[in-house]
Structure 1
């Protein structure tokens, strides 16, 4: 039988000595204090009885033997026992504490024959039960001690023929004192236990909140630093370390980094004005180009007049800010362009059909050339409209995916494209002896390949073999991915063009919509593939020629198809 939580003054203090549960710290301190007090009292009693024997050798040594036994019992319990709450039932702990105390003090009182009054010592077990036990146990122990005192008063009255009212009064007053001690001590113990429990809960909540805060700060994409007034970085999240290129460093002082003076100036300005600051700063890393950051500061309140607060610095990469702004603008432009494209589509179809009907009756060569010009520009405008519509209609991978033999699909698409564009000699398609199958949408694959081939044709020299398409493993040692390469012998791209190559509505020439490569990238990403650009050498005839190459890397499946 164990104590219920409602009956316990110390929540969390297990009555089972072998349970291994953690006790409240204050409970352990008080428990050890009581055990030490009992051992100290036993030592005092031994010294007292030994002194009496020295001064009066005719006295019986029985009291000294009792005190020595009491001291040994209390010292053993203090050194070997573990703190635990008194059980609601009478167990070994009750006998070794309350039982030993009551028995020892009662026997000493009886053995001394009233020469020394030991009854005040009975307050010790009452006080111990009141604090280490439950309120009900405290009242019961006070009642037990009071009955024992009344019994002793009755025994004295039988031994003497005089008035025994004094004995009864003394027993009643001592018993009342025991009841008062049990009540007050029990209330104090309950109050102390409640305060400690609330403190532990608050500490646990603070610990959990701190862990949550650390997790949130660590996962933020913005850099966050806590900096002291002397420039010492006290705390920084992973994003801040990445922006400052300080991964793995612990002792960071902004004043000691020459390339970080602009950031330190913002922090100093915040400390001097005691107000938040915001500024664009350039961070220069040794051996690297500068990085532009948007820095914002917030000051914490000072905890002491002699100690200044801390500065919390929020940092954002200017390139990421500009990229987000550009993406938002492009998204708005895409929605607007899609709406315009829908409105243009129907009139464009009417123009194309009317021009075709007019061309049938034209005999004059000049007029036919004008009709052909209208037809060509109408088709060009139709392609732009399709690109714009594809921009906002790029689907994600799903039920349309199917198992494709990439080599076979590339050969078929290349053959159809070269026939339509009258460039059979210009295009050459190469595949490895073994091509791994891929999971992809067939129409999306066709759109990607045709966009890349159209782009290659626009800049190729039109010589035989000037456009090449190659299907092979991504790397000889990597059998988990397969690559489709589209190469042309065009001139190298300008670095400014290469930087924005896959952005929508970006083109190096006015006749292009600037959506082809962007749509290729979106289609690739929607199916788990990637697309990249590089300058690479390919063989045309007997010569090695450097050209532009776009590589689409697909994830393979477990099956392998032989072409």
Structure 2
């Protein structure tokens, strides 16, 4: 699956990061700071100061406003850099905002109230960008600084406009501004975080849906009113003959499908007859539907592979046959056990002739064969559900070969494990994989040998390509399997051996499919056979928000 969508990194109050929201807030905060510094410098240096702005302390006004303007310009240019340590930088900047405002209030007459009100925005912006406690502490610092300044300047200048009571009221306004902006910031970020999460969920859901459609056995196409293909999944692409990606005209790619679509558009009726849309492609039954009742242009086309329908019917038949066979097998088992037990007792007789001993041996052999058939049929009917888990395929193959050697006397036959230096993980039920590989190894040792030579079998763990799926392969160096026989070896009850049941490979494939794995036969160059089990890998989880 393509990569699962990630939410953009959000920067909550007091959290370092590179969130776009925090960058935007910090950008406008620094831009406002430049405007604020220009106001202070304009009042301190403008010729108008001579006429209607009285400078109480000209040197303090001009020096503090110039320094604050330089700081505001530097802060604006360093907005992106500040995001790396936003808490520290914003806190220090807010302290300087408060000190610059206090200096401006102290040094300028007739504008003290306006500057004090202007500082309220800085306190509120700090509440948006800083942790609640730190922002509250700075709001208290602003209120205390303004009150202390009013007390000191009021003692030095009897004409000072802002008294202690008014300073205290401004301090309360700062605290109220902090509280309001803090609550507003929490609600805003919670809403944005929820919207961001919903967007991520929708993106992930869209990718999952896209993956499901791509992997569907049913072919799916979206065609517009100009007969142009907009979307097509893998199954449909194969069913119409695997055309080149640049071919998008349905009439060129699949003329018969285009004819049936035209017939459906004009008459509203579909042709239910199956048709092969390409050479060597299976027959399909096309179905047409509009994407929505109000959508008059785009048409959704489903291509139902008739071979899949036949296969599903065959599976249902086999399932019913398996249940019926299981009932019969239970009834056969009891008399079979009695026959086998009687034959064993008869074989222990000392007066038994040689010819009779041979007959008893034949009875025992065929009882064992019949019992194997019964066991396979019962196993087919009572197969347990798979419990997949993440397995280290290298370690599993090594452990399997050691266990098989310990449980079976191989004599001169050879069995070895081949692993890779890289980590290979597969999602599978280990017990069912053990059952499948055990069956394959037994077949390889029994049939995968050249006349007069020992069997040479390898159980291999590897990956198909650099980034392909993990596979487990059972390879022998025997005569191989003829092509005509290889096409039937996975069919139930098909066998080329007189004592075979024909269910071993069928059961092995069924167990693999229960684990979403695939079992296939691959000829080996130079002679031999390879049975390959292609496993699935673990599905990547949705990344958590950071």
- TM superposition score category, shorter chain reference: 0.5 to 0.7
Cα distance in 1, alignment partners of residues 486 and 530 from structure 2: 26
Query: Which of 299, 315, 318 pairs up with 2:306?
Result: 318
Tell me the residue number matched to 1:83.
83
Runs of 5+ unmatched residues, structure 2: 1-8, 340-365, 381-399, 414-439, 457-473, 510-518, 532-546
Tell me the residue number matched to 1:68.
66
Tell me the residue number matched to 1:147.
144
Query: Which of 177, 196, 203 pairs up with 1:181?
Result: 177
- Is contact 2:124–2:177 with CA below 8 Å preserved after alignment? yes
Cα distance in 2, alignment partners of residues 502 and 142 from structure 1: 78
- Shift of the 392–40 alpha-carbon distance from structure 1 to 2, 3 Å rule, reads same
Runs of 5+ unmatched residues, structure 1: 1-9, 351-382, 407-437, 450-468, 488-494, 507-513, 534-551, 557-563
Tell me the residue number matched to 1:415.
none
Cα distance in 1, alignment partners of residues 227 and 133 from structure 2: 61
Cα deviations across residues 440-475 of structure 1 (Å, max 9, x unaligned)? Answer: 369986xx99xxxxxxxxxxxxxxxxxxx999999x
Bigger Rg, structure 1 or 2:
1
1:194 Cα deviation after fit: 0.7
Q: How does 1:437-448 map to 2 (within 5 A)?
A: 439-440=441-442
Cα distance in 1, alignment partners of residues 255 and 454 from structure 2: 46
Tell me the residue number matched to 2:275.
282
Cα distance in 1, alignment partners of residues 103 and 220 from structure 2: 72
- Shift of the 325–404 alpha-carbon distance from structure 1 to 2, 3 Å rule, reads farther
Q: How does 1:109-508 map to 2 (within 5 A)?
A: 109-114=105-110, 118-155=115-152, 157-159=154-156, 167-246=163-242, 249=245, 252-261=248-257, 265-266=260-261, 269=264, 279-285=272-278, 288-289=279-280, 291-301=282-292, 308=296, 310-329=298-317, 332=320, 390=373, 393=376, 403=410, 439-440=441-442, 481-484=476-479
- Is contact 2:221–2:232 with CA below 8 Å preserved after alignment? yes
1:272 Cα deviation after fit: 8.2
1:294 Cα deviation after fit: 2.9
- Shift of the 480–440 alpha-carbon distance from structure 1 to 2, 3 Å rule, reads closer
Aligned residues: 413
Cα distance in 2, alignment partners of residues 168 and 58 from structure 1: 21
SS in 2 for 1:315: strand
- Shift of the 519–391 alpha-carbon distance from structure 1 to 2, 3 Å rule, reads farther
1:253 Cα deviation after fit: 3.3
Cα distance in 2, alignment partners of residues 402 and 226 from structure 1: 60
- Shift of the 283–61 alpha-carbon distance from structure 1 to 2, 3 Å rule, reads farther
Tell me the residue number matched to 2:24.
29
Cα deviations across residues 46-66 of structure 1 (Å, max 9, x unaligned)? Answer: 344332279679974653343
- Is contact 1:521–1:531 with CA below 8 Å preserved after alignment? no
- Shift of the 279–334 alpha-carbon distance from structure 1 to 2, 3 Å rule, reads same
- Is contact 2:13–2:131 with CA below 8 Å preserved after alignment? no
- Is contact 1:223–1:314 with CA below 8 Å preserved after alignment? yes
SS in 2 for 1:127: helix
- Is contact 1:13–1:85 with CA below 8 Å preserved after alignment? no
Cα deviations across residues 481-525 of structure 1 (Å, max 9, x unaligned)? Answer: 4444899xxxxxxx9x9998996799xxxxxxx998996764566
- Is contact 1:470–1:486 with CA below 8 Å preserved after alignment? no
1:185 Cα deviation after fit: 1.7
Cα distance in 1, alignment partners of residues 34 and 521 from structure 2: 82
- Shift of the 202–147 alpha-carbon distance from structure 1 to 2, 3 Å rule, reads same
Cα distance in 2, alignment partners of residues 502 and 193 from structure 1: 59
Cα deviations across residues 44-88 of structure 1 (Å, max 9, x unaligned)? Answer: 43344332279679974653343222111011112123236764x
- Is contact 1:293–1:317 with CA below 8 Å preserved after alignment? yes
SS in 2 for 1:221: coil
TM-score w.r.t. the length of structure 2 is: 0.57
TM-score w.r.t. the length of structure 1 is: 0.55
Cα distance in 2, alignment partners of residues 108 and 532 from structure 1: 86
Q: Pairwise CA RMSD of aligned residues?
A: 5.7
- Is contact 1:126–1:178 with CA below 8 Å preserved after alignment? yes
- Is contact 1:404–1:440 with CA below 8 Å preserved after alignment? no
Cα distance in 1, alignment partners of residues 246 and 263 from structure 2: 22
Higher relative contact order (CA 8 A, sep 6+): 2
Cα distance in 1, alignment partners of residues 64 and 262 from structure 2: 75
